[in-house]
Each structure stands twice: as C-alpha cells, then as structure tokens.
Amino acid sequence: MSGNGPSRAIANFEEINSPEFLAQLLAKGPSGQRAFARMVQGTHDRFLGFIRRQLASPDECMEVLQEVYLAVHKGLPGFAGKSKFTTWVFSLAHHKICDRISDRDRRHQELTESGEAALSTEASGTERWDGITAWDAPPDRVSARNAVEGLIGKAIEALPAQARQVYQLRDVEGMSGEESAEVMGITPDNVRVQLHRARKQIVEWVQEKMNGVGNADEPRAGRQGNGK
C-alpha cells in the first residue's frame, strides 16, 4: 500500500500538535490536503463532543463543526504556532458556539418583543444529547448511576454560559487553566474562579435534587440572571 495515499493511521492530538505535522498541514498541494484530511479524521469526534455539550441540536452541532474546519482551512496560512494547534481550533469552536448562542438569544428577544409567546419552538422536537454513559454494573447500580449523571448533565446545561464552557474545557477536555483562558479570551485567574463556582453549583444542585429539597430546575447561580 502506497505511503502517498490517505491510508496512514488517523492522527491523534499529540501528533497533530507536533511541528512536523504542522509543517505537513501548511504544505501546498496534495501533501497538505492529505494532512488536513487526517487532521479532520483525528479530531472530528473530540471537537463534535465539545460542541454538542454546548448546543442542543445535532444538526446545528454538525453545521458548527463544518464552520470550524472551514475557519481552520482559511486561517492555517496565518497560524503562527504560538499556541498548540488544537488549542487554536478549540478557540475557533468556542467563538462559533458563542455566535450561535448570541444569535439564538437575539431571536428569542425579538420574539418576546413582538409578543410571540412560543419561545420554545426552536427547541421543540429537537433531539437532546443526554451524555449518559453505559456502565458495566448490576442493573440497580446502573440505574442509580444514570440518574446521577442525568442530574449532573442538567446542572451543567443550566450553568451560566461562561462557567459552563470553562467547566467543559477544564474538567471534560482536560485542558490546563492557561489553555482554557486562551481559548475563551479570559485570564487564568478568571478561569479558576469560574471553575470553582461551576463545580460548587453543580454539586449543590445535584445534592438538593437527590434530597428532594425544593423544586429548582437549575443551579442557584443560573436563577440569578447572568450568573455574575
């Protein structure tokens, strides 16, 4: 099998962030195209997972992912390598997600101002990603674990947008505080504060729901408006 075709193993994050792979990505012609295809194969699931934890609609998630890869393709010639390549892509994804959320909020506001009450029409009929993990355990333990994970997922969804994104980058994607700050355009100190608050709010809300305390549908900070 020829080594010039797309038959090489799919690149992982470690390889993608290497200077050698970046040089392949920046190469013109078929060599660069093959490297880009391998990059997409190696990052597709990870970036889609990040996007779908922020947005509800699977179709919208795929659209955003395509927009991200298009932005990567356009921006590659100007990528200076001052950060990890994948951190740069996460940053692009973060901004695309924020754009979608801002557009949605603006549309909802317009509906409210025009007197239309059906603000939930965008979400109705939309498939939700529940994030439930299959566990190799007895049925009763699986049920209990799934119930807790379901509560955690709902608590995360209800966090203020910035706290939710910080939580996803740090605790789900495993990024460092510095990398998360770079992705979101905030300071590392702000990342630490937001992460501490997010973790605390998630734990408190899940404990309340498990103990049957109150009828809250979202973490306390989420009920305060902007969560500031």
* 50-72 mean pLDDT: 91
What band does 192 get if pLDDT is binned at 50, 70 and 90?
A: very high
Whether 3 is covered by a domain: the verdict is no
Instruction: Confirm whether 199 is domain-assigned.
Output: yes
In this predicted structure, what is the pLDDT of residue 122? 41
In this prediction, residue 155 carries a pLDDT of 82
Is residue 1 a part of any domain in this protein? no
Find tokens 């500031």 and name the residue: 228
**How many structural domains is the chain composed of?**
2
Q: How confident is the model at residue 145 (pLDDT cuts 50, 70, 90)?
A: low
Residue 85, domain member (yes or no): yes
Q: Is the pLDDT of residue 134 over 70?
A: no
User: Do both 102 and 189 map to the same domain?
Assistant: no
Indicate if 26 and 88 belong to the same structural domain: yes
Question: Residue 161 sits in a domain of what CATH number?
Answer: 1.10.10.10
Assess if residue 155 is contained within a domain.
yes
* Domain identity same for 156 and 50: no
pLDDT-based confidence at residue 157 (cuts at 50, 70, 90): confident
Q: Residue 25 sits in a domain of what CATH number? A: 1.10.1740.10
Contact 26, 77 (CB under 8 A): yes
End-to-end CA distance of the chain: 58
Whether residues 124 and 20 fall in one domain:
yes
User: Do 206 and 147 contact (CB within 8 A), yes or no?
Assistant: no
85 and 150 share one domain = no
Cβ burial, residue 169 (10 Å; 0-12/13-18/19+)? buried
Residues 183 and 164 sit within 8 Å (Cβ to Cβ)? no
Tell me the residue range of the domain where 207 lies: 135-228
DSSP characters over 106-166? HHHHHHHHTT---GGGGTTTPPP---PPP-SS-HHHHHHHHHHHHHHHHHHHTS-HHHHHH
Q: 105: pLDDT confidence band, cut at 50, 70 and 90?
A: low
Mean pLDDT of the chain: 76
Looking at residues 215-227, what average pLDDT do you find? 46
List the helix and strand counts (H, then E) for the chain: 9, 0
Where does a domain end: 95, 129, 163? 129
Residue 185 phi, psi (nearest 5): 75, 30
Res 143: pLDDT: 57
Residues 148 and 168 in one domain: yes
The verdict on 111 and 156 lying in the same domain is: no
Helix/strand/coil (H/E/C) assignment for every residue in 87-102: HHHHHHHHHHHHHHHH
Whether 115 and 195 share a structural domain: no
Average pLDDT over residues 36-44: 94
- Domain end, chosen from 129, 151, 176, is at 129
What per-residue confidence (pLDDT) applies to 141? 53
Instruction: For residue 62, name the pLDDT band (cuts at 50, 70, 90).
Output: very high
* CB atoms near residue 164 (< 10 Å): 21
Domain check: are 18 and 118 in the same one? yes
Instruction: Taking residues 54-67, report their average pLDDT.
Output: 90
pLDDT of residue 225 exceeding 60, the answer is: no
Question: Same domain for 13 and 89?
Answer: yes
Q: Is the pTM of this model over 0.85?
A: no
Domain for residue 2, yes or no? no
Q: Are residues 212 and 139 in the same domain?
A: yes
Pair (139, 228) in one structural domain: yes
Neighbours of 196 (CB within 10 A): 12
Q: What is the pLDDT of residue 202?
A: 86
Q: Report d(CA 126, CA 113) in Å as an integer.
A: 24
**pLDDT of 146:** 63
